[in-house]
Structures are given as C-alpha cells and as structure tokens.
Amino acid sequence: MRQLNGLYTQRFNQRRKQVGHLLQGRYRAILVDKDNYLISLCRYIVLNPVRAKIVKDPGDWKWSTYRATIGDEQGIPCLTIDWILSQFGKGQKVASNQYQEFVRSGIKAESPLKAIKGQLFLGQENFIDEIKHLIRGKEKLKEITREQRYVTRPALNEIFKLKHQKSKEQVMYEAHL
C-alpha cells in the first residue's frame, strides 16, 4: 500500500506540477469482527464526505459506492453489494430503503474506529481471543508497532486485579513483563 500510494502521489503531483503529500496519514489495516462491526464501518466510510462537510447527503458524493449500493446508479464490475444489502432485508427495494435509513442514522454517531484495540483489532473480546494466535511469537519484529506486538498481554489493571490470588512478587513480575 505504501508503494501504491507513493506512486499515485508522484504521478498526481507530476501531472499537476505540485509537490507534497496527497493522501493524509499512513495506510493501516485492521482485523474486523465481521458480525458486529463491518456494517458500522461501511456506514462510517460512506459518511466520511458528509462529516467532512464536503456534501450534505452521502448520495451527493460521486466517488462513493453509496449510490450503486442503493440502486441509483450502475456500480463498477468489482463492486459487490449483495452481502451488505442482505443485512437489511430480503428484497432489493426493502433492503435498499433500510440501508439508506441505517446510513442516515449514523451521521451523528461516534466513529467505530474508537473501539480499535491495540491498533489492530476491531471486535468484541471473544473475537480478539480467537485471533490473538496470529501475532503470538511476533513480539521481536520491529516492523510491527509495540502496541500491536503486545496486544495479547493483559493490561496492568487486569494484572493487579489478581493480586489477591497471587503473591506480591508474582504480580510485580507479571507487571514488569
């Protein structure tokens, strides 16, 4: 992604005789609990231009998949809308209307990205417990941020909650680790 974004920015700047950054912030990928968070993320993405006050309605932003999802225009060939619409109803028209209501209801909603844990996981504890094994043993890789490398470790407050069940030395040792 870094190379793709870098090349795109270079070409864009060359064509327009500009310099500097084009895309804000680094690309980041997170593991998402599809069942509980993916729909909220889809809504968050189509509402970005509305929150940025570029448009008043998500359907006004021509670079979004929103209009294709609600059936107002033809989508690009690689766009699949079946899964997201299936979350809102059986028939295309009913699902589209329910999806539109869901999106509009999120205009004032808090960002789902605030619930990201360890800069890597977006999901409930059981989801995180199921996929923690993917990063075990990677604690020494400097390419992975410290917060991500140690996301499987318990928080200090969790360690100190167990102080009645363990010796003081054992609790301090675990906290030190």
**What is the predicted pLDDT for the residue at 61?**
94
> Are 91 and 40 in a shared domain?
yes
Tens digit of each residue's pLDDT (9 = 90 or more) over 7-44? 888 999 999 999 888 877 666 778 888 877 899 999 99
> Are 151 and 122 in a shared domain?
yes
Q: Domain range holding 91? A: 33-112
**What is the predicted pLDDT for the residue at 16?**
92
Q: Shortest CA distance to 52 belongs to which of 107, 95, 8?
A: 107
Helical (H) or strand (E) element with 107: none
Domain count, the chain: 3
3-state DSSP call for residue 116?
coil
> Are 20 and 38 in a shared domain?
no
Confidence grade of residue 75 (pLDDT, cut at 50, 70, 90): confident
> Are 63 and 98 in a shared domain?
yes
Last residue of a domain, one of 75, 97, 112: 112
> Are 66 and 106 in a shared domain?
yes
Q: Shortest CA distance to 83 belongs to which of 50, 41, 124, 112?
A: 41
> Are 63 and 133 in a shared domain?
no
> Are 25 and 90 in a shared domain?
no
> Are 123 and 103 in a shared domain?
no
**What is the predicted pLDDT for the residue at 115?**
87
> Are 124 and 108 in a shared domain?
no
Tens digit of each residue's pLDDT (9 = 90 or more) over 132-177? 777 777 777 777 777 777 776 777 888 888 777 888 888 888 888 7
**What is the predicted pLDDT for the residue at 85?**
95
pTM metric for this prediction: 0.69
Q: Rounded to whole angstroms, how far apart are CA atoms 9 and 1?
A: 12
pLDDT higher than threshold 90 for residue 100: yes
> Are 43 and 9 in a shared domain?
no
Flag the least confident range among 45-49, 62-66, 94-98, 124-128: 124-128
